[in-house]
Chain A
Amino acid sequence: MFERLTVKKDAYYDSVVLMRLTQEVQRLAGITDALVGMATDLNKDSARAMGFADPELEEAGPNDLIVALVGEEEKILDEAGKVVAARLESRPRPRTGAESTRPEAVYSSLSEVPIGGGGVAAISVPGTYAAREARAALRRGLHVFLFSDNVSLEDERVLKETGRREGLLVMGPDCGTAVIGGIGLGFANKVRPGRIGIVAASGTGLQQALAVIDRLGEGITHAIGTGGRDLRREIGAITTLMGLDILEQDEATAVKMVISKPPHEEVRRRVIAALEGGSKPSVVCFMGEEGGMPGAGAGAGKVRFAGDLEEAAVVACSLAGAGAGRELYPQEEIEAIVRGVAARMPGAGGGTGRVGGHLRGLYGGGTLCEETMTVLARSGIEVYSNVAWRPELLLEDPEMSHAHTCIDMGDDYFTRGRPHPMLEPGLRAPRYLREARDPDVGILLFDVVLGYGCHPDPAGVMAEAVREAAEIARRGGRALVQIAVVVGTSGDPQGLAGQEKALRDAGAVVLSSNYAAARLVALLLGSGRFSR
């Protein structure tokens, strides 16, 4: 085995670029391990774990690039080194000076950009530096879309208070998705202009809502992201309330929608009061809120409460005058799917369609993972998870599933030094196949999220895993139901129909609503107590 460590001083590259490059290098024939990353403490740890113990590594800092390669032959390391060099060389060079006054140009710092108020700064730099850039953007009069995570709650509060004082929106930190004036920021779906205005504290939650809205033929005005902590007491819904104010003033918006985890109680009152005090009907989905969960469209006055993302979108559409149905997939359709499964897999529950095995869900979207657990809990099905709210359902080891398990693979544990599954959905494949080999497993469930900023062919990479898993089950003589939730719109760059077809052809049941998938799982697991 040959090892090689190269440190390039003062050569900063974006972490997404480096993580993708790491993946690429790891896949090269003859390379057994590889790491291309900035010399952060985390990456240095990883390099040490690979067996590197050079003083050069110890001295390297977060502005230095490390390339750590382990391979079978010296020659292979040379080749891998060339791949790294070639990929890193192709990055754009900044233009500086007088000619860089047009968009499309590349700048070296925010202060160089010739832009006044009325623009948005989309910030996805490492969290340590993100608040500083956001402050600078606010000083320039820019609204802020802060994709970066690992920003402190205190920084978030100060940024949002500054924004409120200056009349500027601070979307984030940890804001995965927003659609402002038709332009998607972060991971965002293509949605037609319409009458629904959204404020959302969850990226994939918002994407799911957008997908359903699109499917029902409705569209949106703006989808304002807030970041996951906006409804905490410390932040006090600053961005949510500003967003609702925008939607109230916006003439094109006919219906307001709010998506979030359960808020702090006092904050909840303020948000509801703002909705009640407005002039437009609204629908609220506080995902996973315990108790007092009314049925579809329930709620007094201008506010309706929804128990899941699909319902929120369906209710919003009907308030806007489109799509009268309660559910995207009527019960008969879900039951038909179960019958279809039973026909295709005679082994499944002796033809009843019920499967004896366990559920294993591998999610890229954290909110979708939570939604599945919430919906199944309502059906009396307990699901273990690395992100379970109930401590007794928390997995001891995120790598080891237990009974029914849903994993949020976008959680910090899985994304340390690795790309988020939204960027590299294929990274889930090894775990997926491991679950497929588990003889106790009867259902595999995963999400495929489309949209701008997402992987160019997420279904393609997962379809391979689906085929392989089906083969594993066939060889084992087991019934294995594979369910793919494809979150996307017809306008998404990946091509919704093609993505769905790829998964269907591979043998997966494809649904466009995660809630529907959870219902399907509940039926397959034989729960007779399914209710919304």
Chain B
Amino acid sequence: MATVKNWPPTGAVVNLGSSVFARSMRDQGASVYEVLWEPPARGKLELIEILDVLAGREDIEEANRLALERYSSAQPVLVGIGRARDVIPGFGGKMLLHAGPPITWDRMSGPLKGAIVGAIVYEGWAASPEDAEGIAVEGDVEFSPCHEHSAVGPMAGVVSPSMPVFIIENRTAGNRSYCTLNEGLGKVLRYGAYSSEVLDRLRWMADVLAPVLAKGIELSGGIDLKSIIAQALHMGDEVHNRNRAATSLFIRTVAPYLLDTGFPLANIRRVLEFMNGNDHFFLNLSMPAAKAMLEAAHGVPKSTMVTVMSRNGTDFGIKVSGLGAEWFVGPAEKVKGLYFPGFRDEDANPDIGDSSITETAGLGGFAMAAAIPIVQFVGGTPDDALGFSRKMYRITMTENRFFSIPVLGFRGTPTGIDLRKVVETGILPQINTGVAHKDPGIGQVGAGLVTPPWECFEKALLAFAGRYA
């Protein structure tokens, strides 16, 4: 053929648009590939233009390969436990860390306020919750996001200076991340509870749990979290809303060393019982492990990889590797899911916590197909679980080299959220999460699924275009 190639066509037709035509071509015997078309970038022409400019840019692809390589080669290892003020960079004085993007007291939601009050009393800066609130209102306490200190915290995510924190080191790049120890379920500080029972538990954790575990970790020479996570994914966890397998694996790994710590057997027993009694104990390890891997990938100029997704109960914020320290923020949404008996929709606080760092790292909701048992917990079917994970491949850059999903043929989890793909497809990252009561001190009232607000990604893309287009 002189000028026209592939002629005559094969009889295969891709139909984009009206399904009336797809049907009629099928009636004529054509092989029709039907695309259920939706407008790109939610129909916003300004964003579509940016996407077209950014499409196929080799410098961006190169930057993303570098960021992904830094993420993939990271080796998060639990190396110890330290006092927050001693180990977390830039942390000290009358400062409290919290989940999510920056926020002032007046805009904080109930659970975050409750956790702040509890932490102030815990630190002894105030004698009573009332006084603590006064201090917070007066601005005598400085608030700072965990994420700005290489730390992460579940739910309210409040870290006070004297709390013990896990220290995770990325053995490849040397960067470290931090997270408190998980308190368990029920009335706990991370859900905004601050009764004496809560504070007593925190003190026990600092006085007994932390020293015993710290010594055990030291004796172990460091515990490889990446391999525990990879194994847990094959045992029904997605290490966000289900950590039962990972917690068990962690206990199995650390227990022999605990026996050699020299602490009284009664204390060791209580430590083991405490961890064993809390299926989410490992959450506070999967989160900083994800953080250590993603922080390594952050700060690559021109990379469109999302490295932080986080909520403070009022706002949802994201960060992008190539866009430095800037947060891109939108309103936190309500979680769709199931409530514990006695609670309803109106009781729920908007989405809260740094735990969506797991999704950012290709775990959590992204690995939901690995954790089919939890679909009942968040309200869904096994097919939904498979669907959620599959959908996330459409907004990510790669399949994980390390974390895989057995039921998808050991396909690597969808990893490396590409800002451009989120905007192009309009598909938002799928997050599995717990639901906090909107009032402080009540605790978890349910669990379910949530997404970031669209504007985070829209704003980030505009900023990216401003800097690199």
Tell me the residues in window 386-425 of chain B with beta carbons closer than 8 Å to chain A beta carbons: 386-387, 390-391, 393-394, 408-409, 411, 425
Are the C-beta atoms of A128 and B21 separated by less than 8 Å? no
Number of A residues, CB within 8 Å of B: 72
- CB contacts (< 8 Å) of B10 on chain A: these are 118-119
In the complex the two chains form, is B36's CB within 8 Å of A92's CB? yes
Complexed CA–CA distance, A423 and B24 (Å): 13
Cα A330 to Cα B133 with chains together (Å): 98
Q: Are A164's CB and B17's CB within 8 A?
A: no
Which parts of A265-313 form the interface with B (CB within 8 Å)? none
In the bound complex, CA of A246 to CA of B7 (Å): 8
Interface residues of B in 291-311 (CB under 8 A from A): none
A85 at the interface (CB under 8 A from B): no
Tell yes or no: A245 within 8 A of B by CB. Answer: yes
Contacts of A115 in B (CB 8 A): 12, 14, 33
State in angstroms the CA–CA spacing of A213 and B102 once bound together: 73
Bound complex: CA A125 to CA B408 (Å): 33
Check A242–B4 contact: CB distance below 8 A: yes
Question: Quick one: closest A residue to B43, CB to CB?
Answer: A62
Q: Which of A121-176 contact B (CB under 8 A)?
A: 121-126, 128-129, 132-133, 137, 141-143, 147-148, 164, 166-169
Contact B3 A14 (CB under 8 A): no
Contact B9 A453 (CB under 8 A): no
For the complex, give the distance between the alpha carbons of A512 and B9 in Å.
31
**What's the least CB distance linking A59 to chain B, in Å?**
13
Residues A452 and B25 in contact in the complex (CB < 8 Å), given A14-B19, A98-B409, A132-B52: yes
Residue A428 at the B interface, CB < 8 A?
Answer: no
User: Which residue of chain B has its CB nearest to the CB of A139?
Assistant: B56
Contact of A119 among B9, B52, B386, B425 (CB under 8 A): B9
Chain A nearest Cβ from B453, distance in angstroms: 11
A75-117 CB contact bits vs B (8 Å, 1 = yes)? Answer: 0000000000000000111101110000111111110111101
Smallest CB separation, A101 vs chain B (Å): 10
- Per the bound structure, the CA–CA distance linking A114 and B17 in Å amounts to 18
How far apart sit A92 and B17, CA to CA, in the bound complex (Å)?
Answer: 13
Asked whether B17 lies within 8 Å of A123 as measured between CB atoms, the reply is yes
User: Judging by beta carbons under 8 Å apart, are B34 and A92 in contact?
Assistant: yes
* Residue B44 at the chain A interface, CB threshold 8 Å: yes
Q: Write the chain A residue with the least CB distance to B19.
A: A14
A181 contacts chain B at the CB level, 8 A cutoff: yes
Task: Quote the shortest CB–CB distance from A89 to chain B (angstroms).
Answer: 14
Enumerate chain A residues within 8 angstroms of B13, measured Cβ to Cβ: 119-122, 183, 185
Taking a contact as CB atoms closer than 8 A, the residue among A117, A123, A183 that contacts B28 in the complex is A183
Are B4 and A169 interface neighbours, CB within 8 A?
yes
Partner of A120, one of B9, B36, B42, B43: B9
Given contacts A119-B14, A122-B21, contact A96 B387 (CB under 8 A): yes
| Minimal beta-carbon separation of B458 from chain A (angstroms) | 11
Return chain A residues, CB-CB under 8 Å to B324: none
A94-B8 contact given A123-B16, A185-B21, A452-B25, CB 8 Å threshold: no
How far is it, in angstroms, between the C-alpha of A66 and the C-alpha of B7 when the chains are bound?
Answer: 43
Assuming the A-B contacts A61-B43, A118-B9, A122-B13, are A108 and B21 also in contact, with contact meaning beta carbons closer than 8 angstroms in the complex? no
| Structural contact, A183 and B30, CB atoms closer than 8 A | yes
Q: Please state if A17 and B21 are interface contacts (CB–CB under 8 Å).
A: no
Contacts of A423 in B (CB 8 A): 20
Majority SS at the chain A contact face: loop
State whether A452 touches B24 (Cβ < 8 A): yes
Q: Contact: B4 with A168, CB < 8 Å?
A: yes
Quick one: closest B residue to A133, CB to CB? B16
Given A62-B39, A132-B48, answer yes or no on A106-B34 (Cβ-Cβ < 8 Å): yes
Chain B residues with Cβ below 8 Å from A46 are none
**At the interface, yes or no: A249 with Cβ under 8 Å from chain B?**
yes
Question: Once the chains bind, are B34 and A118 in contact (CB under 8 Å)?
Answer: no
For A17, A93, A147, A167, which residue has the most chain B Cβ atoms within 10 angstroms?
Answer: A167
Given A108-B394, A242-B3, A453-B21, residue A122 in contact with residue B37 (CB < 8 A): no
Tell whether, in the assembled complex, residue A12 and residue B12 are in contact, meaning their CB atoms are under 8 Å apart: no
Those of A161-210 within 8 Å (CB) of chain B: 164, 166-169, 180-186, 188, 190
Contact of B35 with A108 in the complex, beta carbons under 8 Å:
yes
> Is the pair B36, A184 in contact by a Cβ cutoff of 8 Å?
no
A73 to B3, CA, bound (A): 63
**B426: CB under 8 A from chain A?**
yes
Decide: A124 and B25 in contact? CB cutoff 8 A: no
The yes or no answer to A222 lying at the interface (CB within 8 A) is yes
Q: A121-B14, A123-B17, A147-B21 are in contact. Are A181 and B426 (CB under 8 A)?
A: no
Chain B contacts for A61, CB-based, 8 A: 42-44
Identify which of B4, B18, B52, B454 contacts A246 (C-beta below 8 A). Answer: B4
The answer, yes or no, to whether A493 is at the interface (CB within 8 Å) is: yes
Are the C-beta atoms of B25 and A185 separated by less than 8 Å? yes
Q: Which of A1-30 contact B (CB under 8 A)?
A: 10, 12, 14-17
- Give the interface of A toward B (CB within 8 A): 10, 12, 14-17, 61-63, 91-94, 96-98, 103-110, 112-115, 117-126, 128-129, 132-133, 137, 141-143, 147-148, 164, 166-169, 180-186, 188, 190, 222, 242, 245-246, 249-250, 423, 452-453, 493
List 15 extra interface pairs beyond A106-B34, A167-B3, CB under 8 A: A62-B43, A96-B387, A104-B32, A109-B425, A110-B16, A129-B40, A132-B52, A142-B14, A167-B1, A168-B5, A183-B11, A184-B25, A245-B4, A453-B20, A493-B24
What are some 13 contacts across the A-B interface (CB < 8 A)? Answer: A91-B36, A97-B386, A110-B14, A114-B33, A120-B9, A120-B12, A122-B21, A124-B17, A185-B13, A246-B7, A452-B24, A452-B28, A453-B20
Q: Which 6 residue pairs across A and B have the least CB separation, nearest first?
A: A124-B17, A167-B5, A62-B43, A452-B24, A103-B31, A97-B390
